A and B are shown apart, each in its own frame.
Chain A
Amino acid sequence: MDLFDKFKPIAAAYEELRALGGDPFKVSFDRIVSPTIGVIGNAEIVLAGTNNYLGLTFDPNVIAAAQTGAAEFGAGTTGSRIANGTYSPHKLLEQELAAHFGLDQAIVFTTGYQANLAVVAGLAGPQDVVLIDADCHASIYDACKLSGAQIVRFAHNDPASLDRRLSRLDPEASNKMVITEGLYSMFGDVSPLAEFIEVKKRHNAYLVVDEAHSFGVFGPNGLGLAEADGVLADCDILVGTFSKSLAGIGGFAASSLPQFDLLRVAARAYMFTASSSAASVEATRAALREIKAQPELRDQIWANAKRLHAGLAGAGFKLCASPSPVIGVDMGDPGKATAFWNALLDEGVYVNLAIPPGTPNSTSLLRCSVSAAHSADQIDHIIKSFAAVGAKLAPPDAAE
């Protein structure tokens, strides 16, 4: 009897995966040269699995802001937001995010994971029902468990499935919170938000939209899918992260619900963790300014996404969704996906390996994320590398 006995199946699967080459879960970069180039040993790798959508991690203004934040406020805050850990940069970032969304309030959290924990587990309790899209992120599933609420899962991107589940609930018995994401991180597909909103209104439910992967990328002002679809005002709470388009670490929730501020004294994920460092917060504030100042970054990321999507489709790969900055390439099974992942890294391209459990429909895929900072040559290198590896190994479609 051993604490680790329960992990035997995972350990066996992990060992099998490592036997195929490198360890996809322990990649370590010796240097990061730019938003799109990393170095492992002496090899320069094109980064195509970073979520660095707008490429702002090396923006001079963002780096300078981080340096100023550290110089003026110190390396860390050493305390929680409700104790000594709220500095003026935290408050300013919250005001700027709220103004950016045109909403009454925004609250900043230490990570995006904690933003979901705080919103879902902070607001929903044992008397409430949380209805989640089947493909929601692990942080949302974890938050649901922590909440103690009744958790009902509806079919991915299926408003009729949500409608049926809401119809089965006693309309008066409980509060109902519906959670979807904007852009889904594995397949790169988007939520039919307007249809979900029609359903949630009919059932008097709250809607939380996690824009982690869509903030900065969708909408005329980069606010996310809700802005792009013209339904921002119908979403009750928007959640997002700083660790993708905003190039830092942290998360936020924004809302005009009148009592939203109560989360600060009710959400354990806000209260019982140290706040973000001033360096991180100032970097995020600067990235937010850059997003506003450089709308051309969105044009560039979409051009790059379409170029990569068309190139991979043209090379015969089976793609999981229409073009978006997340492009999932269906590999058929975990062994093929892992072998392909290793060979791609040997070709100088890093993508994310995603295999079951935890992937939609038990799909084994290579997940590419595109950056506005990718050059056309880098995009073409990614496509050529996929094609070269595909020619060496059995192409996934042919192997089906």
Chain B
Amino acid sequence: MTGTAAHDELMGELAGMLSKLNKSGVTITRATDFNADLNVDSVAVMDFVLEVEDTYDISIPINLLSEVTTVGEFADVVARARAEN
């Protein structure tokens, strides 16, 4: 699988996991902002991270989330954690 294909697959999986938070049904892209577009607060984002960690059996320390505002930025963090695993 190419890097782009792997990334697209990850984005698709994250979008699926985000569906229960995506109450207004916006299309999830790399630019989707957790707070502004999904209206998800920081605690809900951290709860979502718990689910992602267990899905991929990775650790995402919350220190890494301080700069994350969009789904694309989060996907990059997940991809790095999976690569390091």
Contact = CB atoms under 8 A, between A and B. Distances in A.
Interface of A: 9, 129, 134, 144-145, 150-155, 161, 164-165, 168-169, 356-362
B41 interface: yes
**Central interface residue in B35, B43, B44, B49, by most chain A CB within 10 Å:** B43
Contacts of A144: 62
How big is chain B's contact interface, by range?
10 to 19
B46 A134 contact: yes
B61 A362 contact: no
Interface in B6-37: 35
Contacts of B49: 153
A255 to B, nearest CB: 25
A150 B46 contact: no
Contacts of B41: 356-357, 362
Given A161-B54, A164-B53, A356-B41, 14 more contacts: A9-B35, A134-B47, A150-B63, A151-B61, A151-B63, A152-B59, A153-B46, A153-B50, A153-B62, A154-B50, A164-B57, A165-B53, A356-B43, A362-B41
A168 B43 contact: no
Q: Which 6 A-B pairs have the closest CB atoms?
A: A357-B41, A150-B61, A168-B59, A151-B62, A151-B61, A357-B43
Is the contact region of chain A dominated by helix, strand, or loop, or is it mixed?
A: mixed
A361 B47 contact: yes
A269 B50 CA distance: 30
Contacts of A360: 43
A168 B61 CA distance: 12
A161 B61 CA distance: 14
B43 A165 contact: no
A161 to B, nearest CB: 7
A221 B46 CA distance: 37
Given A164-B54, A168-B57, A152 B62 contact: yes
Nearest to B57: A168
9 contacts: A134-B46, A145-B63, A152-B61, A153-B50, A155-B50, A161-B50, A168-B58, A357-B42, A360-B43
A353 to B, nearest CB: 17
A164 B53 CA distance: 10
Contacts of B54: 161, 164
Given A356-B41, A357-B41, A165 B59 contact: yes
A155 B69 CA distance: 22
Nearest to A148: B63
Contacts of B62: 144, 151-153
A134 B57 contact: no
A145 B61 CA distance: 11
A165 B35 CA distance: 26
A169 B61 CA distance: 11
A379 to B, nearest CB: 32
A356 to B, nearest CB: 6
Contacts of A154: 50
B59 A362 contact: no
A356 B63 CA distance: 21
A151 B53 CA distance: 14
Contacts of B35: 9
Contacts of A165: 53, 59
Contacts of A155: 50
Contacts of B47: 134, 361
Contacts of B63: 145, 150-151
A359 B41 CA distance: 10
